[in-house]
Copies of this chain bind each other. A is one copy, B any other.
Amino acid sequence: MRHVLGARCVKCGKEYDAVPGLTNCSCGGILDIVYDYDLIRSRLTKAQLAERQDHTMWRYRELLPVEENTPPTPLRVGWSPLYQAPRLASQLGLGKLYVKDDGQNPTASLKDRASAMAVAKALEAGAQVIACSSTGNAASSLAGNAAAAGLKTYIFVPSRAPKGKVAQLLTFGATVISVQGSYEETFELSKQAIDRWGWYNRNAAINPYLSEGKKTVALEIMEQLDWQVPDYVAISVGDGCTIAGLWKGLKDLYAIGFIDRLPRLISVQAEGCCPINRAIAENEPWHPMEENTLADSIAVGVPRNADKALMAIRESNGIVVNVSDQEILDAQQLLGRTCGVFGEPAGVTGTAGVRKLCQQGVLGCDDTVVSVVTGNGLKDVANAIRACGEPISIPSDMNQLLDAFAARGIQPE
C-alpha cells in the first residue's frame, strides 16, 4: 500500500501505520486514512478510468486502502445508477436533479460499500469472523458480503430493525443478536463481545477503512457526471459515517485534480433524531437525542462518527435541514412516481431535505443537486404501505371494477 501513508486521528492528530486491524486512536478519536496523492496522480488518469470494464467500487482501487494483491470481494458492489430526474426537478423548481440509487447494491443499500471494504481488510488481516452492530443495513450488507467470501459473522441489531433486514441477515447465515434496546445499547453490547472474542470489527465509527469504502459513492457520482461538479450533494445522516465518506471521496478527487471545485453538502436528518444537524445549527458540540423517527437506519441518538460528519459539513460550507416522518414518506412516493426509484425511509430522507429546501427557497432553478438514495424500499415495506394506502380489492368482475373506479373518481383513458 505505497499510496497509503498511514492513519491520523481527527481529534488529536496522532499518526498510525495503516495495518488491517486499525481501530480508534488511543485518545478515543476516529482515525482518517492519509494518502500519497502525488503517487496516486501518477498512477491514475480519467482516461484510464473511462476504459475500465470493472463496474464495481474496485475500479477505484488506486484510491482505496487495500494491498495491490488483495482480491476484489465477490459481490458486485457499487457503480449504482445515477439517474437524471427532469420531471422531479421541474416539480421541485430545481435547475437540475440527479438521483443516485444506491439501493441498487447487492444487499440493497449503500452500506455494501463499507462491508465489501471490511471483508477485504478482514481477509488481509487473516480474520475468519467479522462482527458489527448496526441499525440494519450495515448488518445485512456485512452478512451478505461476508457469506459470499466464506467468512462468519456475528451481528447485533436493535430489536426495532425492520423485518426485511432481519430476513436478509438470517438468510445469509449470520448469528443475529436482536438487542432489546436502543442503537446505543446495541453498539455497547457488540463492543464488549468484539473485545472479548477478538472478532474483526466492522463498526464504521471504529474501523477507519469503512469510510474509504463508502467514499466510492462520491467517486462514482463524479465520474458518472463526467467530472462536472454539482452545486450540492444531499444525503441522509445517522451515525455520520456515510456523509464523512462522501466528503472524503470528493476531497480525494479534488486532491488528485479530477475535479476543480467541491460541492456543498446537504445533511438531512429526521426531526425526531437530529443531533448532528442541531450541533451545526446551534454551533455547539453535539448532544444525544431520542431516536424518534420511522427512518430506522438514521435513528441514531448517539452518533458514533459525529466528529468526521461535523467536519465534513463545516468544511463544505454545508446546509443542514431536518424533515418530519411525513415529509420522508411524501418523498418516498415522489421518488417512486416520478423516477421509478423505491427508497426506504432513511434512503429517501436526503430527497425529502432537498424538497424542503426548495419549498423554503434555499434551492432553486439555478442549482444542480445530486440526491443520494441510500437504501431500497423493499427493506421496509410496512412503512411504504402505511404511506400509500391499500390497493383496490375486488373479485374478478368488470362491474365491480367499474364501481370501484367510479367510487374513487378514477376515469380510465
Contacts and interface: CB of A to CB of B under 8 A. Distances in A.
A167 B393 contact: no
A272 interface: no
A379 interface: yes
Contacts of A167: 342, 377-378, 381, 384-385, 388
Interface stretch (A33-41, A182-190, A287-295): A182-190
Contacts of A150: 87
Contacts of A176: 391-392
Interface stretch (A60-68, A100-108, A309-317, A360-368): A100-108
Copies in the complex: 2
- Classify chain A's interface size: 35 or more
Interface in A159-173: 159, 163-164, 166-173
Interface of A: 50, 53, 55, 74-76, 81, 83, 87, 101, 104, 106-108, 128-129, 143-150, 154, 157, 159, 163-164, 166-173, 175-181, 185-186, 188-189, 192-193, 196-197, 199, 332-333, 336-342, 376-379, 381-382, 384-385, 387-398, 401, 404, 410, 412-413
Sorted nearest first, the 5 A-B pairs with minimum C-beta distance are A148-B340, A170-B388, A176-B391, A171-B336, A173-B337
8 contacts: A75-B81, A75-B340, A76-B81, A76-B83, A83-B148, A104-B104, A148-B339, A170-B391
